[in-house]
Amino acid sequence: MRVLFLLLAFAGALVFSTVTDAAPPGKGHLGAQTAGTEIIAVVPANWPPQYSLDEDGNPTGFAIDVLNHLAKELNLTVRYKVAPNFVEAIQLLEAGEADLIPNSGIVSERKSNNLFTPPVETFRIVAFIREGDVVPTLISALHQKKVGVVERNVGLFLLRDRRDVELEIYPTGEKALLGLLSGAVDAVVYPDTVFQALARNIGVEDQIRITGTALKEIPRGLRFRNDRSDLHVLFSAAVASFVNSPDYKNIYKRWYGAPDPFWTTKRVFGGMLAILATLTVVFLVWRYFTLSSFNNRLRLSKLQLINLNETLETRVRNRTRELSEEVEERKRSQRDLETFFNQSQSLNLIVDFKGRILRLNDSWEDFLGYELKEVAERPFIEFVHPEDRAMTEAAFTALLVGDGIDGFENRYVCACGAAKYLRWSARSDVDRQLIYAVAQNITEQKKAENALKLAANVFTHSDEGIIITDINGAIVDINEAFTDITGYERDEILGNNPSILSSGKHDADFYQTMWSKLRKDGVWQGEIWNKRKDGDVFAERLTISAIEDESGNTTNYIGLFVDITKMKAHERQLEHLARYDRLTGLPNRVLLADNMQQAMARARRHGHTLAIAFIDLDGFKAVNDTYGHAAGDELLVSVAHRLTKVLRTEDTLARIGGDEFVAIITDLPDEKSCVSTLNRILDAASKEFKLGAATASVSASIGVTFYPQTEEIDGDQLERQADQAMYEAKISGRNQYKFFDPEQDRRLTEYYAQVADAKKALKTDAFRLHYQPKIRLATKEVIGYEALIRWQHPEKGLLMPGAFLPPIERHPDVAIELGNWVLDNALEQIERWNEVGLDTTVSVNVSALQLTSSDFEETLNKHLQKHPAAEPCQLEIEILETDALSDIERVSKIIRNCRLSSVRFALDDFGTGYSSLAYLKQLPIDTLKIDQGFVHDSLNNAQDQELLKLIISLGRVYNIDVLAEGVETPAHAELLHTYGCRYAQGYAFARPMPADDVLDWHSNWIEHRLTQSAMPRALTGS
C-alpha cells in the first residue's frame, strides 16, 4: 500500500506540474547586460486599445503593457514621449528623439528605414456591418455604398482610389462605430480586433459583424530606428518567446476582451497525462500483487542459501583481509613512485627501445605547449630540433647497448615554434627494453650565456663609442669606436676623468643639470659638444646610464655616444632649404607663414596696419617660351633683387612659386600709406631686364589686402584675399594694383553657398514639383498642367523659384542637373496619371544652359525611353523668349529636331524680349505664352489691352496657340476670351498644387466647370 500511495502522489504531481502555468522566466545574462539602461518610446495619444492616456495623462494600452513587460524582462527602463498622432510619432522616431514605437505595422515601405521585431499581433483589415443587414460575401459588393473609414488609418488608404464607394472619414474609431450603429454609413473598414474591442467596451459587440474576407493582413511589431540594432536584437529574442507565454495572453485578454476557451491545448494535454497516470497506477497495483506472491516463494529459497553463504563468507573474509594488506602496501610504493615521477622540478620520460613514449609527467605539457595525450602519440624524436636529431639519435643508440648518459644537451621544438634547451640524464633497462630519462630546462641559462657573448661582441665591434667609469668618474674601459671618434688610445685614457674631452662650449650649469638628472633618474640623454685629441671640436649624441648592484647601489656609469657633427651640418642645410627658395634665396611659403604670424601679432599689439601684397608677373610665360627656362630663372632672380631693394628691411618678400611673390609691408599708420611702396614695386618690375645678349620686359599685377579687419582672420585667408584682388588687377588690364573688396567676396561666398545648398538638395531629394492647370477659356476644359519647381527647405520651409533659381541658373552643372531632375519627375508623374486615367499634358521650363548643351537632344530621348508609359506628345518644353533669341538659329534647330519625337515647345514670357516678328517666324513653336505683366493691368490699361490684341492676332497669323499667364480673376479671363485668346492659366482657376492634390482638384473642376462663378474656394486653392 505504501508503494501505491507513492505512485498516486507521483501521478498527481505530474498532472499538477503539467496543467499549472509556468513560472515567469527569471532575468538571465541578457538582463544583466542591459541593467539600468533607459530607452525612449514615442506613442500616439489616442488609438485605443493600442494607445491612450489615463486620467493622469500617462500612456496606457495593449502596446504599452507589452513594451513594459518586455522591458522588465530585459531590465530596461522605459521613458515615454506622447505625440498627437501616429504621423508625428514617426517623425519623432526618424528625427532621433526616440528609440522605438511600441506597436507599428510591418510593411515593405518601412523596412528599408526601420528595424522590426517579430510580430506581436496581426491586424486583419475587414469591413464591419450592422447585425441583421444583408451580408455581402465580397468587399466588391460595397459598390455604391457609403463606407466609413478613420483618418490616417490603413482603411482610408485601401479605399481612397475607389470611385464607386462613397467614403465618410471619421477622426476616431469610436466615432466610426457610432456612425455605423446610427446608420450614417453602410459599413466601416477598420482593423478587426481593435474595432471589436471598441464595440465590446461600450456593450454593442452583438450589434456588428464582419463581412467578406480581409482586405489586408498587417503584422505589427516593435519598430526601431536603423541605428538601434542593439535594442532590436534584444527585443526580437524577447518577443519570440513572449508571444507564446501566459503573460501575453493575459495582456491580450485585458485589452481585447476575448476570453480563452476552457479546453485549451494545455488543459487537453494535462487531462491526457492524468488519464495516462491513472492507467499506470492501476497497472502498477496489479503488478504489485502479482510480484508479492512470487516474492513469498523466493523468501523460502533465500533462507536455504543463507546457511550455505555463512560458511563461504567467513573463508572469503579472511582471504580478503590478507589481499587488502598486500594491495595497500603496493599502493604506498606506487604513490611514492608517482610522487617522484610527477614532481615539477624536472621533465621525466619513459620510452621503449623503438623511441615510443610510454609515460611522461605533467611538466612536459607546460614545457612543449602540447597536450600530454598528443605528445604520447608521437615518437620523441619528432619533437627534437632538426639540427640536433643526428646527435640525439647517436646518444639514443648508446643507451640501447646499456650505456648511461649525463649532461647531454639538445633542443626541443615547442607548439609555438620556439626552440628550448634541455640537459639530460638517462639510463636503460636492457631486459625490459625501457629507457628512463630525466631532463632539466636550461633555456634561460643558455639565453644568459648568449646575452653575455652578445654584449661582449657589441662592446667590441659597436659603431657607437662606449666608455665605462667607476663611481668616482675614473675611466675603467673603452671600446675601439671610442678611439676612432676621439683619437685617444686605451692606455692613454684609462684612469682619466671624462672631462678630458670637454670642449669648453658648455658652462657649469649644463654639467650640473646633467649630473642632477643622472642621479635622480639613473639616465641622461642629450647632445653635447666635446673635443678630440687633436683639438677638433665635434658634436655627439650621448646617453649615460647608471649601473646598479643587487642592492640598488650605483657601482659604475656607462656612456654610449655617436659623432653627429655631419648630421648637424646637414640639418642646418635642410632647415635653410625648408624655409628659403632655392632659386632666389627669398623666404618660401613656410617662412612666409611664420613671418606673417609675427607681423600680425605686432600689428595687433601696436595698433598698426599691415598690408599683404600678392605679386604676379605679367608676360613671364612669354619670356620662358622665347628665351628658355634658364633665362626665366635669371629674370626671377633679378626681380627678387629689385623688389628687395624697394622694400624696407623690416618688410618681407617671399617667393611662393613660379612667378608669384608675396610682400608683407609692416608698421603702416593707415591703408593709404602703402601706395608709394606699391608704385615702387610696379616701377621696379616693369623696367627692362638684361638676359645675356637679350632684353626682356615684364610687368606686375598686385592684389592687396590689409590687417587687422573687422572680423578675425588668419594668414591663409589674408593670402587668398590678396590673390583674389590680384586676379581683379589682371582682369582690369595688368600692370596695376587692386585692393581686396570684402563686399564682392561676400557676394561670391554667398553664391557658392547657395550653389552648394542646391547640390545638397538634389542629393536629398528636397525639390518638389507643383502643378498649375491650363484652361481652355471657351469650355473651361483643363488642357494640361505646368510643372513649377519648389524647394522644401529643412529650415526655411517651402521656397519659391525666385528665392533659389537665380544663382543656380548661373552654374551650368547644377542648372543642367536640376533641369534633368525636373524632366524625369514630370515624365514619371505623367505615367502615374495615365495609370489612373488622367490623360493630360505637362509643360516644364528648360533653361538656355540646358537647351543649348551639346547633349540635350540625346538626354531628352533617354528621359522619354526611361518613361515609355508617357507619350512624347504629352510633354511640352517651355523656353524663355530672351533665351530663345540669344542664339535663334541654334535654338530653332534644336526645337525642330526634338519635335520629330512629337515633343511640343512653348515660348514663355512673350513680350519681355525683342518680340521681333522675324524671330517669331523662325521659331518652330506650338504655343505662345503671354507674359503676366501684360495681363495684370489689362482691365484698366488701354495700352496693355492693345498689346494683348496684337499678340493674340500674331498667334492666329502664325497658327500658334496663345496662352495668357497670370489670369487672377474671372474678369481677366472674360476679357481675354473676348479678344480671342483661347487658353489661360492663373489664380483665377487654381494656384500651383502638389501632385497628390491634382486628381481631387481635377475631379471637382470637371464637376463644377459649367457653373464656375459658383465654384467653392477649394477649387481655386485659395
562 and 587 co-located in one domain? no
Listed as own residue / partner, the contacts of 399-403 with beta carbons closer than 8 Å and 24 or more positions apart are: 399/426, 399/427, 399/428, 399/435, 400/353, 400/428, 400/430, 401/430, 402/428, 402/430, 403/428
Q: What is the pLDDT, as a whole number, of residue 749?
A: 76
Q: pLDDT tens digit string along 264-283?
A: 455 557 667 878 888 888 88
* CATH number, position 43: 3.40.190.10
Say whether pLDDT at 1015 is over 50.
no
**Residue that terminates a domain, selected from 508, 542, 570:** 570
Q: What is the pLDDT, as a whole number, of residue 456?
A: 63
589 and 564 co-located in one domain? no
Listed as own residue / partner, the contacts of 282-290 with beta carbons closer than 8 Å and 24 or more positions apart are: 284/3, 284/4, 284/7, 285/4, 285/7, 288/3, 288/4
Q: pLDDT tens digit string along 332-381?
A: 756 656 666 777 678 888 999 888 988 888 888 888 888 888 888 889 89
Flag whether 205 is in a domain: yes
H and E: helices and strands count for the chain: 37, 38
CA 282 centroid distance within chain: 70
- Asked if 705 and 744 count as a contact pair (C-beta separation under 8 A), the reply is no
* CATH number, position 370: 3.30.450.20
Which is nearest to 98 in space by CA: 116, 120, 73, 78? 78
626 and 695 co-located in one domain? yes
**Residue that terminates a domain, selected from 535, 570, 605:** 570
557 and 599 co-located in one domain? no
Element (H, E) at 775: strand 767-776
- Asked if 414 and 383 count as a contact pair (C-beta separation under 8 A), the reply is no
731 and 776 co-located in one domain? no
971 and 840 co-located in one domain? yes
- Asked if 523 and 511 count as a contact pair (C-beta separation under 8 A), the reply is no
Mean pLDDT of 314-325: 76
Q: What is the pLDDT, as a whole number, of residue 878?
A: 92
Flag whether 60 is in a domain: yes
Mean pLDDT of 1003-1018: 63
Considering the chain, what percentage of its residues have pLDDT values greater than 70?
88
650 and 554 co-located in one domain? no
Flag whether 286 is in a domain: no
Which is nearest to 67 in space by CA: 116, 24, 102, 104? 102
* pTM assigned to the model: 0.40
3-state DSSP assignment of residue 693: coil
* Percent helix / strand / coil, the chain, rounded to 5: 50, 25, 25
- Residue 20 banded pLDDT, cuts 50, 70, 90: very low
105 and 225 co-located in one domain? yes
Flag whether 736 is in a domain: yes
CA 245 centroid distance within chain: 38
* CATH number, position 842: 3.20.20.450
Q: What are phi and psi of 157, to 5 degrees?
A: -70, -30
The phi-psi region of residue 941 (left if phi > 0; otherwise alpha if psi is between -120 and 50; otherwise beta) is: beta
Q: Return the C-alpha cell found at 863.
A: 528621359
Say whether pLDDT at 1021 is over 50.
no
Q: What are phi and psi of 478, to 5 degrees?
A: -140, 165
Q: What angle (nearest 5°) sits at the alpha carbon of residue 552, between those of residues 546 and 555?
A: 45
- Asked if 564 and 541 count as a contact pair (C-beta separation under 8 A), the reply is yes
474 and 501 co-located in one domain? yes
Q: pLDDT tens digit string along 613-661?
A: 999 999 999 898 888 989 999 999 999 999 999 999 999 999 998 999 9
Cα(198)–Cα(173) distance, rounded to whole angstroms? 8
Say whether pLDDT at 28 is over 60.
no
Cell numbers 502615374 correspond to: 832
Q: pLDDT tens digit string along 499-542?
A: 888 888 899 899 899 889 988 888 999 989 999 999 999 989 89
899 and 871 co-located in one domain? yes
Mean pLDDT of 699-711: 92
Q: What is the pLDDT, as a whole number, of residue 262?
A: 41
Q: What is the pLDDT, as a whole number, of residue 326?
A: 73
Give residue 385's domain range: 340-447
Q: pLDDT tens digit string along 82-129?
A: 998 888 898 999 999 999 999 988 887 788 889 999 999 888 899 999
The DSSP result for 911-975, as a single string, is: TSS---HHHHHHS--SEEEEPHHHHHTTTT-HHHHHHHHHHHHHHHHTT-EEEES---SHHHHHH
Supply the mean pLDDT for the chain.
Answer: 84
Say whether pLDDT at 786 is over 80.
yes
Q: What are phi and psi of 709, to 5 degrees?
A: -120, 175
The CB density around residue 280, as the number of other CB atoms within 10 Å, is 14
- Asked if 773 and 1021 count as a contact pair (C-beta separation under 8 A), the reply is no
Flag whether 463 is in a domain: no
Q: What is the pLDDT, as a whole number, of residue 273?
A: 82
Say whether pLDDT at 851 is over 90.
no
Which is nearest to 799 in space by CA: 846, 766, 835? 766
Q: How many domains does the chain have?
A: 5
Ranking 314-328, 553-567, 569-583, 747-761 by mean pLDDT, the lowest is: 314-328
Mean pLDDT of 289-315: 72
Q: What is the pLDDT, as a whole number, of residue 92?
A: 92
- Asked if 430 and 337 count as a contact pair (C-beta separation under 8 A), the reply is no
Kindly report the length of the chain. Answer: 1022
- Residue 783 banded pLDDT, cuts 50, 70, 90: very high
The CB density around residue 416, as the number of other CB atoms within 10 Å, is 7
Flag whether 617 is in a domain: yes
From start to end of 186-342, where are the E strands?
187-191, 208-225
Flag whether 210 is in a domain: yes
783 and 645 co-located in one domain? no
Q: Which residue has the higher pLDDT, 684 or 885?
A: 684
Which is nearest to 164 in space by CA: 139, 187, 145, 148? 145
Q: What angle (nearest 5°) sits at the alpha carbon of residue 808, between those of residues 802 and 809?
A: 85
Listed as own residue / partner, the contacts of 243-250 with beta carbons closer than 8 Å and 24 or more positions apart are: 243/118, 243/119, 243/120, 245/22, 245/24, 246/21, 246/22, 247/24, 247/69, 248/66, 248/69
Q: Which residue has the higher pLDDT, 143 or 626?
A: 626
Q: What is the pLDDT, as a whole number, of residue 464?
A: 86
Flag whether 21 is in a domain: no
Q: What is the pLDDT, as a whole number, of residue 611?
A: 94
407 and 549 co-located in one domain? no
Q: pLDDT tens digit string along 449-498?
A: 776 666 666 676 677 889 999 988 899 888 888 998 999 998 988 999 99
